[in-house]
């Protein structure tokens, strides 16, 4: 008699079962990428969401296990840990206003998760994104290629959406790249934005491009103001799922990712969004683009803002 070979499916833990976390769980399961552990401090909520998602498996035609829990022990041996936990933005609240509360939440989540999944790759979604990614990197003690933030993928998708709407073209034909912090000082690179290979500078005038850039910078705030009771979650979950997919399937996709820099772009000891190649080991390579003087100055200004907030967060945590 031949004994069956038991193979464990890859596991992705999502810390925070709010709108972003639960939607991301749905994306990962329905793409059939991995089993999902959905963790939250609210008793019963992740369990209920997991059961709801499990009951859709026969309809969505996937076989992934989805577990809801309040215990980090259930997250053990995860390949990827995604941290979405934290309070969301409210109308009139900037990402930086979230700093004090979310810093403590993210550090605790990172330390608890790494204790049970020492080989995991961490993706941070909690705002203010760049600062929270730095704190997670610091808290876990992991090498930089295993800790990253989801920011540029979302911001680039927003830029692409606004370009497609303006030109009335297929969104899939639009490609754009946004660097810098996930906030008002992000750096959309208009020169690198194209429609089926054609630079948008050939298709739109400078005033229109400037308007689309500004809308991209305020993309999250625009949704918060419209919804009033919460912020974006569909697009952030989709952006995070693209990163998870590239890592789990070793796709080596070139994506804008918030990462710890060690001299790239003239920046050191700061987390900021730059183009990175993502594969099974995490960040395989940081790509240094040629920037104009204006773009370089904008990136430096963005990084300085992040560095100031990192210092504030560290003071809060050490105070």
Cα separation, 149 vs 136, whole angstroms: 10
Q: Which residue, among 165, 204, 215, 209, has the nearest Cα to 189 in the 3D structure?
A: 209
Q: Which residues are catalytic?
A: 182
User: DSSP secondary structure string, 124-179?
Assistant: E-SSSHHHHHHHHHHHHT--GGGEEE--HHHHHHHHHHHHHHHHT--GGGEE--EE
Would you mind telling me the total number of residues written for the chain in this entry? 319
Bond into 128 cis (ω within 30): yes
Query: How far apart are alpha carbons 312 and 102 in whole angstroms?
Result: 13
CA angle, residues 151, 156, 162, in degrees to nearest 5: 130
What is the crossing angle of helices 99-116 and 129-140, to 10°? 40
Find the helix or strand (DSSP H, E) in which 66 lies.
strand 66-69
How would you class 226 by CB atoms within 10 Å of its CB: exposed for 0-12, middle for 13-18, buried for 19 or more?
exposed
Question: In whole angstroms, what is the distance from residue 237 CA to residue 30 CA?
Answer: 13
């Amino acid at each position: 008699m031949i004994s069956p070979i038991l193979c464990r499916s890859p596991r992705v833990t999502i810390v925070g079962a709010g709108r972003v976390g639960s939607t991301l769980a749905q994306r990962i399961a329905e793409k059939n990428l991995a089993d999902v552990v959905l963790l939250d401090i609210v008793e019963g909520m992740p369990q209920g969401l997991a059961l709801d998602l499990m009951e859709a498996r026969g309809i969505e035609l996937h076989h992934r296990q989805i577990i809801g829990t309040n215990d980090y022990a259930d997250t053990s041996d995860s390949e990827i840990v995604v941290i979405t936990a934290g309070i969301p933005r409210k109308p009139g609240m900037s990402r930086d206003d979230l700093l004090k509360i979310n810093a403590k939440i993210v550090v605790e989540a990172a330390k608890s998760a790494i204790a049970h999944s020492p080989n995991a790759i961490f993706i941070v979604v909690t705002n203010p994104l760049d600062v929270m990614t730095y704190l997670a990197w610091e808290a876990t003690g992991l090498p930089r290629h295993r800790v990253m933030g989801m920011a540029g993928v979302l911001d680039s998708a927003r830029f692409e959406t606004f370009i497609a709407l303006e030109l009335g073209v297929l969104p899939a034909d639009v490609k754009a790249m946004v660097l810098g912090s996930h906030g008002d000082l992000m750096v959309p690179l208009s020169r690198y934005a194209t429609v089926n290979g054609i630079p948008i500078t050939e298709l739109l005038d400078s005033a229109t491009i400037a308007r689309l850039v500004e809308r991209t910078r305020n993309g999250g705030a625009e949704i918060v103001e419209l919804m009033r009771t919460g912020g974006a979650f569909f697009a952030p979950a989709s952006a995070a799922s693209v990163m998870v997919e590239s890592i789990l399937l070793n796709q080596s996709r070139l994506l804008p990712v918030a990462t710890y820099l060690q001299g790239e772009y003239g920046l050191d000891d700061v987390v900021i969004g730059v183009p990175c190649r993502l594969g099974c080991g995490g960040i395989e390579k940081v790509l240094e683009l040629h920037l104009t003087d204006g773009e370089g100055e904008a990136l430096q200004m963005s990084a300085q803002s992040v560095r100031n907030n990192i210092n504030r967060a560290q003071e809060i945590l050490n105070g």
